[in-house]
Structure 1
Amino acid sequence: MSRPHPDPVEAVVARVRATYARWGRDTPVAQMRTDWDALFDTPVDATVTPVDAGGVRCAWVQAPDTRSDRTVVYLHGGGFQVGSLASHRELMAALSAASGVRVLGVDYRMTPEHRYPAPVQDGLAVMRWLQAQGVTGPHTAVAGDSAGGGLALALLLALQGAGQPRPAAAWVMSAWTDMTASGSSYTTRAALDPIHQRPMMLALARNYLGQAHNPRDPMASPLLAAPDALGALPPLLLQVGERETLVSDSEDLAQRVGEAGGQAQCQIWPGMVHVFQQYPADLPDARLALAAGGRFLATHLGVAPTPTRSPT
């Protein structure tokens, strides 16, 4: 009798859990970062070129046959503590292929060495550098996952406050938009989520904000921004897995943006987990979601997608 094939989602979850299981209270942050990068150490079909962008370490990630006159600025996830240009190289390469344009990955400063608002400041510096290079707001978009998804939205709000040009659109995956973790899904989906529970998210928020900052600050929790600021955001695509405690972070934001007169679409992907898009080699839905996100950004950047562009 043949053995049943393992559920690919559960196989992904098992790999993530195995990494977490190696960490204890005394594990150095440097080791956590090394382990996280190793989890996603996959060759990519893209050119990766380091660049100093206004004093912030970044990298251009460009898939073959993609345009250089449009740019997607990417903010990686990892709870503001782990994650890097290395851990998200595959995802950025897939994003470049799916959107048909180059991606600028941002290696923003992280905690515990640097707390809020350092990542927001780094994002602003990168956007100003792009503008100085002649890459204007309408020719840019922002994207990010998890903590980086929330950071991407905070960056949009910061650009508003600084009077800087508005990017054309934003695509965020499993975005952490509420550091108070007050959404209903933290309770209703707790049994479904194999990784992220409310106590963990609150601990990460305390680690990022320290004692000096309020989790209700919109630059930390974009969900809590004023209606006029939310309504002025560029078109948003929010993707989240059905099995996430963070579902409310996306659902509630999309609702508030819509009520404020803005454009926001929330996609809840059945059976999927946190940042499932980071596993395109394992999950067909990851490939579909990446393709959808790429089309969304390409449309708003004025790039006609072609059948040859694929995130696989």
Structure 2
Amino acid sequence: MDISRMLKQFLTEQFLKTSIRTPSKLNLPIGSARFSIEQMCKLFPKDANIEIRKISLAGLKAEELKPQDESTQLIFHIHGGAFYLGSLNTHRAFLTHVAARTQMQVIHVDYPLSPEHRFPTALNALFDVYQELLNQGIQAKDIILSGDSCGANLALALALRIRNEKLPQVSGLILLSPFLDLTLTSESIRFNQKHDALLSLETIETGIKHYLPKNVDVGDPRVSPMFDDFKDLPPTLVQVGSKELLLDDAKRFKDKAEQAGVDVTFKIYTGMWHNFQMFHPWFDEGKKSLADLAEFAHKQDKD
């Protein structure tokens, strides 16, 4: 890595630690935390060639991002945010680039956040969205299910529920910086605490507190899908940064999924922090992650 790239990464990490990670340890009011994240995400540039259309799916506000008039494949993305942050606004820019790079239609939704709506409200709502997509005539083989951070948790939980309820399964699953174990037993949560520029332990602990009703255990496979059976999951892409708190969530998923016979494409991106994909315009590793995502998505296109 040359000096200019090293300096740019160092300055970005220091900015994120100061503006996002450190304040997240202060137990800010939820409204303030949501506002801060949305303001930061305004820095991300959108791809101007992508058409953005507001829609409604299963009673939820949603957006359709289209790179062209006809796309054979649809990516249904579930945003992250520790179950209590994130929105259409925070992920719109990133997803325009996903749509542009894959040349596939992308749909994302404003699912119910906690603590206003605790488990299983969000998962039920996302399951209803998937059923509505099928009812609209979209074939499961033309849907790729995607999520980042806690959105990856919900995406995996949704794929498992689709399997358990014997609905047609999606063609592929994309897990970006996944948060899959709410028991917080992954070793990287301890050894990467000082290295992850974006995510703090306090944020995920707050998210768990907001998300779970008192009668649901953190190890319940419905909320910690790491502990479920991964048999018959679709081909899955997993991306994670080497500095992430949740690095070992991704590694443990890979090992267990491969043992269950799942076709897993897995990559660690050197020097990258949580949800680094959203910073792809400024970093080579981020650009490579988007190219890898597109390559995986194209392999799932059966038409």
Same fold by TM-score, threshold 0.5 exceeded?
Answer: yes
Matching of residue 37 in structure 1 with residue 38 in structure 2: yes
> Cα 1:66–1:267, aligned 2, differ >3 Å: closer, same or farther?
farther
Aligned to 1:56: 60
Q: Residues of 2 paired with 1:10 and 1:217: CA distance?
A: 38
Q: Residues of 2 paired with 1:294 and 1:94: CA distance?
A: 10
Percent pairwise identity: 24
Q: Residues of 1 paired with 2:27 and 2:174: CA distance?
A: 36
- Residue 143 of structure 2 is aligned with which of 140, 143, 158? 140
Aligned to 2:246: 246
Residues 72, 141 of structure 1: 8 Å contact kept? yes
Offset, 1:132: 0.8
| Matched residue SS, 2:34 | helix
Q: Residues of 2 paired with 1:232 and 1:217: CA distance?
A: 20
Q: Residues of 1 paired with 2:203 and 2:241: CA distance?
A: 18
Q: Residues of 1 paired with 2:106 and 2:11: CA distance?
A: 29
Structure 1, 144-153 or 8-17: larger mean CA deviation: 8-17
Offset, 1:174: 0.5
Paired residue type of 2:268: I
Q: Residues of 1 paired with 2:278 and 2:194: CA distance?
A: 22
| Unaligned ranges ≥5, structure 2 | none
Q: Residues of 1 paired with 2:69 and 2:247: CA distance?
A: 32
Aligned to 1:110: 113
Aligned to 1:255: 255
Residues 24, 203 of structure 2: 8 Å contact kept? no
Paired residue type of 2:292: A
Offset, 1:57: 1.4
Q: Residues of 1 paired with 2:236 and 2:137: CA distance?
A: 24
Q: CA-to-partner distance for each residue in 1:277-304, whole Å, 9 max, x for gaps? A: 101221121111011111101210236x
Residues 242, 270 of structure 1: 8 Å contact kept? yes
Structure 1, 187-196 or 130-139: larger mean CA deviation: 187-196
- Residue 131 of structure 2 is aligned with which of 111, 128, 132? 128
Residues 149, 172 of structure 1: 8 Å contact kept? yes
- Residue 93 of structure 2 is aligned with which of 90, 107, 124? 90
Q: How do residues 96-245 of structure 1 correspond to structure 2 at under 5 angstroms?
A: 96-226=99-229, 230-245=230-245
Q: CA-to-partner distance for each residue in 1:123-167, whole Å, 9 max, x for gaps? A: 101101100110111010111111111111111011112221100
| Unaligned ranges ≥5, structure 1 | 304-312
Q: Residues of 1 paired with 2:295 and 2:6: CA distance?
A: 31
Residues 81, 111 of structure 1: 8 Å contact kept? yes
Residues 67, 100 of structure 1: 8 Å contact kept? no
Q: Residues of 2 paired with 1:117 and 1:265: CA distance?
A: 29
Structure 1, 14-23 or 175-184: larger mean CA deviation: 14-23
Q: How large is the RMSD of aligned CA atoms in angstroms?
A: 2.1
Residues 159, 165 of structure 1: 8 Å contact kept? yes
Aligned to 2:15: 15
Residues 25, 200 of structure 2: 8 Å contact kept? no
Q: Residues of 1 paired with 2:109 and 2:217: CA distance?
A: 25
Q: CA-to-partner distance for each residue in 1:65-120, whole Å, 9 max, x for gaps? A: 47433210000111111111111111111111222210001211101111111111
Offset, 1:171: 1.2
Matching of residue 78 in structure 1 with residue 81 in structure 2: yes
| Matched residue SS, 2:97 | helix
Q: Residues of 2 paired with 1:285 and 1:66: CA distance?
A: 30
Offset, 1:26: 6.7
Q: Residues of 2 paired with 1:67 and 1:254: CA distance?
A: 34
> Cα 1:62–1:14, aligned 2, differ >3 Å: closer, same or farther?
farther
> Cα 1:278–1:216, aligned 2, differ >3 Å: closer, same or farther?
same
Q: Residues of 2 paired with 1:254 and 1:138: CA distance?
A: 23
| Matched residue SS, 1:92 | helix
Q: Structure 1 or 2: larger helix share?
A: 2
Residues 197, 274 of structure 2: 8 Å contact kept? no
Structure 1, 182-191 or 129-138: larger mean CA deviation: 182-191
Aligned to 2:279: 279
Offset, 1:178: 0.6
Structure 1, 36-45 or 285-294: larger mean CA deviation: 36-45
Offset, 1:198: 4.1
| Matched residue SS, 2:237 | strand
